[in-house]
Chain A
């Protein structure tokens, strides 16, 4: 069949801002213009997209060039997830070094404060620094277990990581700006990674509002696990909202505003809403606090059969915005539960804890599950059915089947 490859007529894009060309649009933005053919999506080495070809391919499941998951077993034995194993979920293309320019000159503005100010990254580094560990988890982690087949990457357990972030507390910057203006109810963070695309901000800007109180725990991060925050994870500066789903941890951060109302952009108003199957709308809850959750990381069906005898059942557990208090493990599909032991250091309430249950298994097949509690809530048995497959923390779907020989 002979195909006539038409040239995309960008003027006709009804969701682009009405400027004559993409280059023209980008030229009005605060970053270097690019064309749509800026190919950081192309296959790089090892089957990874070029922009993350430094990642550990063996640890990753590639759903698409914008959605890359960590294998369950690659969460590994360490408490902190190595950068090379951390999942990727991008709503906008990762900004390139050329678009970012001199990282020290990256600017973030503060609005909705008594003295609005703008800071460069170099200035932020001189004003204060701290390090926190948090669980970073995509709202759709576990979507792959939903039977109604919601669209989007079919994550199982690996759109999650535990990461050390280094940066400056938002509270320090609020104080430097004379405090929050009266009437503010939300902390609203905006990225600038939509600007090079030329897409209209209302459709493409990743701007997320969270309850104002989150600012007390929040951080503007420039380092990830001890190295400058990679562009693919939102470098050079990212909002970290501990205990809140990944989407609220805005990448390529350009603005923090304390606002009376939630942002009206698409990513706040209509996307990331937890609605019943077949329904949608801004009246449904958005993806904010992560619920308590855990899963087994060893042994798994990814790592082959298990030798009969003494077995260490290992996993990770976190409590969302509260500290995880306990984990129970079942080797018979949830009929009987045994208390697991936390191991390794406690890195604070926003990090995950490793746990282990030592048990003895004879030859046979087993369904292994874990059930965590944060003292207030515990994991339910079943998923909360919803249209887009968000916020899954049911223990049953997250169990693993293993064969002992």
Chain B
């Protein structure tokens, strides 16, 4: 009985992790698509993970990025950068995905 419970628990954890990984991968892919296609962040920023070489805004591989700071800047804009959230260029979900992608790929 104990063994069965252990197996079931381990299996549960395994599938839970897999589902998280799938979620992460899906979120990263969506973030990449928004970065390069929907919002075209790529035109203005360097980010090796996206293959981008834009030179208007800061190089995202060398600047300190946090979920909080990137969310603020993408939502409200800064300087020439559009306010993607405030001006409703991106949805909240899209902002969350692109921020996730940038924070998890910058400098890598």
Give the B-binding residues of A (Cβ under 8 A): 1, 3-10, 12-16, 22, 36-43, 49, 62-67, 91-93, 149, 151-152, 194, 197, 199, 203-204, 266-267, 271, 280
Q: Digit string of B48-74 for contact with A (CB within 8 Å is 1, else 0)?
A: 011111111111001110001100110
Q: Contacts A43-B62, A197-B56; is A91 near B79 (CB within 8 Å)? A: yes
Q: Tell me the minimal C-beta distance from A24 to chain B in angstroms.
A: 14
Is A36's CB under 8 angstroms from B54's CB? yes
- Given A6-B36, A6-B42, A203-B80, 7 extra CB contacts under 8 A: A7-B36, A8-B40, A13-B43, A22-B43, A65-B62, A197-B56, A267-B80
**Cβ contacts under 8 Å, B43 to chain A:** 8, 10, 13, 16, 22, 36
30 contacts between A and B (CB under 8 A): A1-B28, A3-B28, A3-B49, A4-B29, A5-B32, A5-B51, A6-B42, A8-B37, A8-B52, A8-B54, A12-B37, A13-B40, A13-B43, A14-B89, A36-B43, A38-B55, A39-B55, A41-B46, A42-B59, A62-B62, A63-B63, A63-B64, A65-B59, A65-B62, A65-B63, A93-B55, A149-B68, A151-B78, A197-B56, A199-B56
Q: Tell me the minimal C-beta distance from B84 to chain A in angstroms.
A: 10
**Cβ contacts under 8 Å, B49 to chain A:** 3
Q: Contacts A64-B62, A151-B69; is A40 near B28 (CB within 8 Å)? A: no
Is A3's CB under 8 angstroms from B40's CB? no
Is B69's CB under 8 angstroms from A6's CB? no
Q: Is B96 an interface residue (CB 8 A)?
A: no
Is B32's CB under 8 angstroms from A6's CB? yes
Q: Is B82 an interface residue (CB 8 A)?
A: yes
Is B80's CB under 8 angstroms from A41's CB? no
Is A266's CB under 8 angstroms from B69's CB? no
Task: Across the interface, name the chain B residue whose C-beta is closest to A196.
Answer: B55
Task: Across the interface, name the chain B residue whose C-beta is closest to A3.
Answer: B32
- State A67–B51 Cα separation when bound (angstroms): 23
Is B59's CB under 8 angstroms from A151's CB? no
- State A5–B47 Cα separation when bound (angstroms): 11
Chain A interface main SS type: loop
Is B36's CB under 8 angstroms from A8's CB? yes
- State A42–B33 Cα separation when bound (angstroms): 24
A-B pairs with lowest CB-CB distance, top 10: A64-B58, A5-B51, A6-B36, A8-B42, A64-B63, A37-B53, A65-B59, A13-B40, A93-B55, A204-B80
Is A267's CB under 8 angstroms from B79's CB? yes
**Cβ contacts under 8 Å, A42 to chain B:** 46, 59
Q: Contacts A5-B50, A5-B51, A10-B40; is A65 near B29 (CB within 8 Å)? A: no
